[in-house]
Every structure is written in structure tokens, then in C-alpha cells.
Chain A
Amino acid sequence: MPAVSKGDGMRGLAVFISDIRNCKSKEAEIKRINKELANIRSKFKGDKALDGYSKKKYVCKLLFIFLLGHDIDFGHMEAVNLLSSNKYTEKQIGYLFISVLVNSNSDLIRLINNAIKNDLASRNPTFMNLALHCIANVGSREMAEAFASDIPNILVAGDTMDSVKQSAALCLLRLNRTSPDLVPMGEWTARVVHLLNDQHLGVVTAATSLITTLAQKNPDDFKTAIVLAVARLSRIVTSASIDLQDYTYYFVAAPWLSVKLFRLLQCYPPPEDGALRSRLTECLETVLNKAQEPPKSKKVQHSNAKNAVLFEAISLIIHHDSEPTLLVRACNQLGQFLQHRETNLRYLALESMCTLASSEFSHEAVKTHMETVINALKTERDVSVRQRAVDLLYAMCDRSNAKQIVAEMLSYLETADYSIREEIVLKVAILAEKYAVDYTWYVDTILNLIRIAGDYVSEEVWYRVIQIVINRDDVQGYAAKTVFEALQAPACHENLVKVGGYILGEFGNLIAGDPRSSPLVQFNLLHSKFHLCSVPTRALLLSAYIKFINLFPEVKATIQDVLRSDSQLRNSDVELQQRAVEYLRLSCIASTDILATVLEEMPPFPERESSILAKLKKKKGQSALPDIDDSRRNVNGSTEHSEITDTTNKSSPSLLKDLLATNRPRPSSFSPIMHFARTMDSTPSFTDMLSLSSAPTAGASLLVDVFSDSSTLTSVDVSEEHFPRFVCKNNGVIYENQLLQIGLKSEYRQNLGRMYIFYGNKTSTQLLSFTTSVTTNDVLKTQLNVHAKAVDTIVEGGAQVQQILNIECLSDFKDAPVLGIQFRYGGTLQNIAVKLPVMLNKFFQTTEMTSQEFFQRWKQLGAPQQEVQKIFKANHPMDTDVTKAKILGFGVALLDGVDPNPANFVGAGVIHTKNTQVGCLLRLEPNTQAQMYRLTLRTSREPVSQRLCELLSDQF
């Protein structure tokens, strides 16, 4: 029977839909829609009163347009008018429109509520249902205020039709969810429970959902529901498959209702009454037995419905967690499903077993399936199933199987999907730490982790291994030996270099007795990696070198030579340069005693919650992750626990807790001098050599003076902490310490820019001899003109002074000018240097272009050196709107509808410099699954493409 003969078709609507479908392009579609909108608007505004049919037709068209994804800002009034039509068909469309396009316009809400009130009072069940559906669909607060007190009466009234009762029950459920405070509890609640006894199974189905929601909030008020629910369930599960007529679904008796009743019972602990309890147990056993019977149909619907009930029954068994036999039976049943040919069942079995693993009765039973789960990890073709397998292995892990599970996870990691690697790394790190009996195994595991999946080993993981090694002196020698061996590999991951550098710097002396790992060999090994590493790692290595000077006086000269070389002392990176200068100086002027005190071994880290665990929780969401600590508390309870305490007590009293500690130290990019100064101030030992605990940059510059004669050129750390934040915006705070806050406001037009700098004195005393200077290096001088107006030499306490910079861009540039500030505060001279956020992209002018123009130019810029592409990992959540805002802030026009893939972003703009103009096209492709981006830039000049790519790629 062709569809359209049902009811009354609306020809105009069908023609309109056909038109839209025939549109060849998005533009054509929008054109056709705008034409239609104009038509409808004129009809609605016209003098001639529209008849009900036309009104309905136009409202329906508006609805269709809205559902296509376009905005609708009129027609609400006409839809409301339809509500009071006495023709069912018009009323129905009116209600549909209101349900889909809720508008919080208060006038309209009053009118809508009025119409609903009339329909509820009409005693016409069809009209009443329409009204109730509308309330349930909209569920707004205004509606709850108007109707929450009437609906319970409709629900429990003796003469209400069954279908109306069903709608009323679910309508009330929705209102209770959105505005629970407005739904009055009262006499009706007792009567609603008795709906579980209703003859009409549809009414029971709807009522069960309502009662479950209510019972979750006030379990005591609905306790009587337990008896009724068990009785109902028992009748359903023992009924012959045809007894329930139309409520039997593919030979399964009332599967939806059964699932809901089992859910309802999960709001309560096991029944205390013996008879009731055994009746429920019988029900659960029947369901478990049925799973073993041969299927009554080969249809997937039959097995799905049957297993849906089974899984819900198992959930109840796990929830009660009191009947060991049922738990073990449930576990065996799930074990069967682990090898079922249906992927869906395997997935659910793995998921369900995860919760079963935390029960003390079934933990051992779950463990017997370990081989199957490991096999699933290796053979499942669907990544989401493998993910479940990883979760289950994690949940079933305890001291007895930790080594095997960790080994399997490690070997899976080599081929694991990129999307779940980081999570597996975290899980392995946690398990290895949690169940490490001997810490040599732990060290091996983490080093393996870095070897196999170095890119996915987050900072937390390698910080953690260092914390543990520092805190446990029995593993330090082994750790030093192992990292030394691992570093022998010709290519090793940078994270390994970091761990190696740190550990050898601290404990290299423990293996220095062996001529194969003599101090010089150790140093040469580390230094052979130096040139391949990024700046932060090099900084760490430099710190390791100065520690070597303390540990091994015999290599002092070699290391001093390295520090003295131009590539260190004159390194373009300020951080490296500064460390080299300071360390060299320190090694020259400090006596052995001072050196030994300053470069003493790191003291044990204070207790912390495991940062790795915290990270995993954050990643997965607390609920999704079976908490190891909790599960362990139940499982194998006391034995396991005391065992752990035993081992802990032997060595260090707070080990276990400490192993799982948080509050992460971050290797900061702050000046070592500052640290030096601070630590010298507070404690006599220079323990913080590797900057493992970050602190505000403030602090007295005690040691700056010591070095001042030799290192004027590098004495001040140029702050670029906030620099990247200004790539996509022009205003904000660029620098702040305890004394001074520096804010910026900037505006750019073509190749000219003006920057307002605000210096705020945060103290209550004057800042004296306040001078500023803007310096540009030799290269930058030819590319950028910066002219700074003078500024007052005194800044009063709490006051703010302003300085204006005029900027002219001569040609494309890469570096940024540095703002130097000097002043006296309390007798000491303060030096601050801030990198000013004047970047190439500030000189963008947006360019709008059509898809065709865009691709034409894109092709013209096709030479390999004109394109720069970078693939990188997302550092922030991948939010489309934020991304859009950033691209717009970057200065280019965002072009919609150019890229065939709507998820991609395409932009265009022109960089204005005094000498030339450089056109630029960019394309950003997010891959949400892998959490990666690909950024492609094409401009006519290679350095421009390079620089823009660098700037933008750090923003996401």
C-alpha cells in the first residue's frame, strides 16, 4: 500500500519535499527554501484569513525546513492556533510543531498551556493523549508548573482509558526528571504502585518505568513495589511463550517489561523476607536455565530479546552480590558468551564480567576466563570489543596474575589501535606499580612501555617511574644499570633519554665501578643522544651533566668543555644558554663541599595520590572505570591487603600510598637561577636541580648578582609562557609576577600595528628607575620596525602606566621583539624580559572567496616548497566552535562549504607587509577518532608557510 494514501496527504508539502530532493547543490536548496519561507511569510501576513488546511500545510513545511537544519523564526503563532482546531489532523500537526520547536516565549507558553488544558479536560482519549505526548516531549518547567499536579489524578483515576494511563505515567516520569520539585508526592504514589498489578501489560510497562524513577529517589516510599514486581516477574518468566499474546516478542514473553522489572528491583537490596527472596531466586534461576535451552527461533530478534532479559537478570544478581551460586552461574554463562559467534554478545559479556570481577564471590570465577579474554584481545576485529577486553583484564588483575596480564597488554600494545594506546599505557603503568612485588620488574615494565609506545607515554608515567626509583633505594642500582643498557640502543625514544638522564644523573655512581659503565662512558652515552633531543630534554641533560660533575670529579674537565662550547653558551634557546652559563660558572667557582651540598641526591618525594590513576580516571570518567582500590577491598579482602602492608612496612612506611601519588611535579621551563635562588633561600641543599617541582617565578634574585659579571647577556630569562596564547587573540595579560602585571591591547591594520602596554604595580610601594626597552635581533631589525613611546620612570604603588608601541611590518619575519623592563624595588634591581606577541599572522587581512576560486588558487600554489603540512595530536578537546574561533582569531576568513568534508576547516587571508603581500590558504582536518589534526598551509613564500604553520599548530 503506497504510503501517501494514508490519512490526507498534503500535495503542496510533497511537491516541496520533491523540489528540495531535486536540488543539485546546497546553494540551490537554500534558494528554494528561502523562496518557500518568503511565500509562507506572505501567506501568514496576508489579509486573507487562511483556512485550517493551508495553515496546517504551511506549518508542516516550516517543520520540514527546520528538521533539515535551518532556523525558523516565525510560524509559532499559527502552530498554536492549530492546537485549538477541532479537526484532529490540524491539532496533531500543531502539537508536533510545538514539540519539535519549543520556544520559551512566555506569551506563547501560556497559550499552549491553555490549549493543553482544554484537551486534557476534553475526556476525548485521543485528544488527551496528544496533549500528554506534548507535555512529555517538551517537558519544560512552565509545563511542569501548570500540569504536574493534575497528571497524577489522571493516572490513578478509575475511569481513565488504558492508553491515557500509559501516556500519563511517562509524562509524569519526564516531568519528574526535569523538575522533580514540582511533582507533588502524595496519596497517589501508593496507588501508582498498584498499577504493577494492572491487567493491561502496556499500562504495567509504562508504570514500571515511572515507579523505577521514583523509587531511585525515595526508595522507602515504594518498597511495596518489590513484592508486586517479583510476583509479576515470576508470572512472566514461567508463562508459556504464547500466553501474553501480542506482548510476546519472537517467542519471548514480554521482554521489555521483564527488563524494566529487573531494573526496578535493582533499586533495592535483596528482599529480607525469606519466601519473597526464594521466589525471586527462582525467577533468576529460570532465566539462567532458559539460556541453556535450545532457541525457539533462529531469528536474531529472538536471541536478542532473550539475552536482554538474561543480562538484566545478571545485573540484578551482581547488584545483590549475595548469592554465590547465582554469581558463579552468571559468570559461567558470560563465559559461554565470550566465545559466542555474535560480536554483540561477546562485547556485552566482556562488559558485564568487568562488574562481576569486583565481587568477592565471583572474582576467582572470572579469573578462570583469562585465557579467553587474552585471546579476544588478540583476535577481535572490532576495536570497541578489544577495548572491553582490556578493561576486563584490568579489572580481573590481582597479584597472582599481574605479571601475565601486564605482559599480554604490553605485547598487545605493539599492534594496538592508536586511539586506545594511551589508555593502555596508563593501565599497564598502574598495574605494574600496584602489583609490583619486586621493583626490578616494575622498572623493566615501564622501560618496555617507553620502548614500545614511547609516543603514548604521557609525562605522568615517566615522572612516576622516577619518583619510585628515588623513593626506593633497593631498586636504584638496578634502575641505573637497566637504563644504561637501554640507552645502548642506536635509536631510543626521547622519553627514555629523559628517564636515563635523570636516573644516571642521580644514581650513575652506583654502576660506575664497572669499567664498561665508567663515568666517562656514561657521559658519552648520554651526550651521544643530546643532539637528537628537543629543548626540554636537552635542558634536563645539562642538569644531569652538572650532577655528574659532582658525582665524578674525573669527568669535570670533559663536561666543562661541553658546557663551554659555542653550541651551549651561545645557544639560541635562552633556557639552554642560561643553564650552560650557570652550570659552567657553578662548576668553576664553587668548592667541592658547596657543590656536593647544592647537587645532593634528590630527597624522597612526599606522599601523593597516583597521578597516573588520576589521569586515567579523568580520561575514562570515574564511573566507567572499575576502581581497582575499591574492588581490591572486597576481593580477597584481608589477605591481599596485609600482604601489601607487609612489604611496605619493610622498606618505607608509606610506600604503597606514595606509589600511587599525585600532585605532579612538572619539569618547568623556569630559570634554574630562580630555583637556585629560591632553594638557597629556604633549604641549604640545591635539590631541585632538575626543576621537578615548579614554583612561581617570583623570588629574590640572590644568585643573579653572583653571576652578573659573566652573564649580563643572559641574566634574565625571557618569559614566553603566555606568548602562544596571543597567537589567536590580541588582548590579555602577557606577564605577571608578585610585583608587576603586564597587560596588552593591540590592533593591526594591513602592515601597521599599535600595541598598548599596561604596567600594573601590584605592590603598595613605588617602583623606581622604571625603564623599558624593546629589542629586536639583527635579522628582525630589517623585517620589523618597532617604535616605543617613553614611559614614566616611577610607577606608584597600585598604579598602572601605559606605553604605546608602533609597529610596522617590512617583510615576513619569524622572531619576536623582546620587551625588557628594569626597575628598583626595595633596593634591588629587578630585570624582566618578555617576548612580545608580535607575530606574522597579526598582519593578515581576511579574504572571502567561493569554492571555485579557492580551489583554483589552491592549485596555483601547488609547488612542493609552497606547501607546509603538519600532523599533530590535539592538546585540547576537539570542539568545532572553539576551533572556528581560533582560526578566525588567527586572522583568516573561514570559508564555509568549500571543503567537501564539512568537518574540515578552510581559511584564506593575505599577509600585508610593506614590501609585498602574501596570499595564504589553509586547511585544517580534524580526526576526532585519533584525536589528531592535519594542518596544510599554502602560500607563495616558503618561510611564511613554515612560520604560520608553527604558530597555528600549537593552538589546538
Chain B
Amino acid sequence: MMQFMLLFSRQGKLRLQKWYVPLSDKEKKKITRELVQTVLARKPKMCSFLEWRDLKIVYKRYASLYFCCAIEDQDNELITLEIIHRYVELLDKYFGSVCELDIIFNFEKAYFILDEFLLGGEAQETSKKNVLKAIEQADLLQELCAFLSPSPVMSTLMCLCTDWLPSLLLLLLLLLLSTLHAELLSAWHLFLCPEHLTLSLFGGGGQST
């Protein structure tokens, strides 16, 4: 059974936490701190599994974001790796080229999708279609509500665009230069706000395929 899942950025900021075992807030914070440090210290080509306390940690990096799961001794590491990937696919399909910002600003959605996919630390529904169907049904109910009670929707989009645009331009410029030096590029990605990077684009966290 999965004991918990953490999503955090390269800077160590926690973006999503899901605990399937009862722990005190203090303990959760301690575990998070320890794991973030351990995982961020690992080099890209290293293997995706490590022993930690009496648990197995399975992690994978997607663009700027680390997905990190703790499973028990009997559990299967590789299938957990694919649980992570399926979750990224779900997010990607739902948000449309998901990036870290989507998860920051719509954290509640990220939790809802996760609940449809995993429950009690076990896979509940592994069909992408079925999970998305459930979420879309819920959204439909929301949309109905939204029409009934007038609430401002569009302005959020505007405020997002303002910090999107300049970096998008820079990114384009860099893509032109990218033939010159690949390493330089990756350094620049970090310099730019990496939260804009599409997760699936750089998916693989070390396993280049």
C-alpha cells in the first residue's frame, strides 16, 4: 500500500501532499523535509528507488516537479513508477499540457483527480477514460452551479497571462539559440520560472527514452 505521495519543486517547495496513513502534522513536516532533501540531492542518472527508514521511496522528475511516493516493503516499485506516470497523464489530459502552475493555482483539482485515481493508498481506477469521465461529470455539476450563482471567472486568466507572457517570449528566443549549447539552455530553464514548463515534455527524470 502506498503510504503517502508528495509533489515538490526543484526548489523544495511542496506542491501536493497526500497521506494514506495517520500521522501527526509534526511528523508529516519532518518526513517531508527529510525526503525533499534526500531526493533533491540525488543526481539525474541515479535509479528511481531508494530505501528510506523501513519504506521504499519511488520518485520521478517531470520538468520542474518531483513526484515521490513511499510504498511498503512488499509493494512493487515499477508499477508505482507507472502510477506516477498515469497521474501525470491524467493531469496533462485534464489541464491540457499541465505545468507546475496549474497544480499551484488549481490544487483542489489536483486532489480531486488523485482521489478518483487512488484511494486508501491503492489504485481505484486505472482507466484514464473512466477517471476523466468522473472528473468531467463533477465539473459539469460545477458549471451548472457557476451559471446559477454569478461568479467571476475570466479575470483569473488575465492575471495569469501577465506573468506568463514575458517568459514565454524568452523561451522562444532561447529555443532558437538552443542548437548552440544544450547545457546552456537547461541552465536558462531554471533561471526562467521553471513552473511554466510542461511536465510531460521533459518527463522521464533521467530515463531518456
Contacts and interface: CB of A to CB of B under 8 A. Distances in A.
Contact of B47 (A3, A249, A344): A344
A306 B204 CA distance: 17
A259 B207 contact: no
Nearest to B86: A249
B172 interface: no
Interface in B91-117: 94-96, 98, 101-102, 104-109, 111-112, 115
A623 B54 contact: yes
A21 B196 CA distance: 14
A260 to B, nearest CB: 8
A344 B139 contact: no
B76 A311 contact: yes
A205 B33 CA distance: 33
A93 interface: yes
Contacts of A385: 47
B59 to A, nearest CB: 11
B96 A259 contact: no
Is the interface on chain B under 10, 10 to 19, 20 to 34, or 35 or more residues?
A: 35 or more
Contact of A205 (B81, B94, B121, B123): B123
B78 A202 contact: no
A206 B86 CA distance: 16
Interface stretch (B61-69, B145-153, B173-181): B145-153
A140 B142 CA distance: 29
Interface in B106-162: 106-109, 111-112, 115, 119-130, 134, 137-139, 141-143, 145-146, 149, 151-153, 155-157, 159-160
A344 B82 contact: no
A305 B81 CA distance: 9
Contacts of A346: 47
A173 B76 contact: no
Nearest to B131: A202
Contact of B125 (A1, A52, A166): A166
Contacts of B204: 300
A89 B122 contact: no
B38 interface: yes
A142 B50 CA distance: 36
B79 A929 contact: no
B165 interface: no
A163 B105 contact: no
Given A4-B105, A88-B145, A89-B145, A623 B78 contact: no
B126 A205 contact: yes
Interface residues of B, dominant DSSP:
helix
B125 A205 contact: yes
B142 A8 contact: yes
Given A6-B109, A96-B111, A623-B54, A202 B82 contact: no
A24 to B, nearest CB: 14
A7 B142 contact: yes
A11 B152 contact: yes
A263 B14 contact: no
B48 interface: yes
Given A88-B141, A246-B130, A348-B49, A96 B108 contact: yes
A304 B81 contact: yes
A309 B175 CA distance: 40
A299 interface: yes
B151 A53 contact: yes
Given A21-B104, A256-B79, A348-B49, A7 B146 contact: yes
Contact of A347 (B30, B47, B139): B47
A315 B194 CA distance: 40
Contacts of A205: 123-126
A384 B51 contact: yes
Contact of B120 (A21, A87, A136, A348): A136
A51 B145 CA distance: 13
Contacts of A956: none
A1 B207 CA distance: 29
Contacts of A88: 138, 141-142, 145
B79 A259 contact: yes
A96 B86 CA distance: 22
Interface in B23-56: 25-26, 29-30, 33-34, 37-38, 41, 43, 45-51, 54
A596 B128 CA distance: 84
Nearest to B99: A3
Interface stretch (A60-68, A499-507, A723-731, A783-791): A60-68
A880 B137 CA distance: 45
B10 interface: no
B79 A1 contact: no
B22 interface: yes
A257 B126 contact: yes
Contact of B34 (A8, A246, A304, A928): A928
Contacts of A8: 142-143, 145-146, 151, 153
A167 interface: yes
A56 to B, nearest CB: 10
B156 A69 contact: no
A257 B79 CA distance: 10
B17 interface: yes
A201 B78 contact: no
Contacts of A136: 119-120
Contacts of B86: 249
Interface centre among B37, B96, B120, B145 (most CB of A within 10 A): B120
B123 A256 contact: yes
Interface string A223-246: 000000000000000000000011
A170 B107 contact: no
B107 A67 contact: yes
Contact of B81 (A9, A64, A344, A929): A344
Given A255-B79, A348-B78, A202 B207 contact: no
A163 B116 CA distance: 9
B76 A202 contact: no
A10 interface: yes
Given A11-B155, A173-B120, A384-B47, A263 B74 contact: yes
Contacts of A881: 26
A89 B142 contact: yes
B145 to A, nearest CB: 5
Given A3-B102, A92-B112, A257-B126, A347 B78 contact: no
A304 B127 contact: no
Given A9-B153, A623-B73, A928-B34, A171 B29 contact: no
Nearest to B13: A68
Given A3-B106, A9-B156, A92-B138, A305 B82 contact: yes
Given A4-B105, A18-B159, A343 B209 contact: no
Interface string A882-910: 00000000000000000000110000000
A209 B207 CA distance: 30
Contacts of B105: 3-4, 14, 17
A9 B151 CA distance: 8
Contact of B30 (A60, A245, A880): A880
Interface centre among B78, B104, B112, B139 (most CB of A within 10 A): B78
A257 B159 CA distance: 43
Contacts of A2: 96, 157, 160
B55 to A, nearest CB: 11
Given A15-B159, A67-B17, A178 B22 contact: yes
Given A3-B101, A9-B151, A14-B160, 7 more contacts: A18-B163, A96-B112, A163-B125, A247-B126, A304-B82, A309-B79, A624-B73
Interface of B: 1, 14, 17, 20, 22, 25-26, 29-30, 33-34, 37-38, 41, 43, 45-51, 54, 73-74, 76-79, 81-83, 85-86, 94-96, 98, 101-102, 104-109, 111-112, 115, 119-130, 134, 137-139, 141-143, 145-146, 149, 151-153, 155-157, 159-160, 163, 204, 207, 209
23 contacts: A1-B95, A3-B98, A3-B102, A4-B160, A7-B139, A7-B142, A10-B151, A21-B104, A63-B108, A87-B149, A88-B141, A126-B137, A163-B125, A166-B124, A173-B120, A245-B127, A247-B126, A255-B79, A259-B76, A304-B78, A307-B78, A308-B82, A382-B43
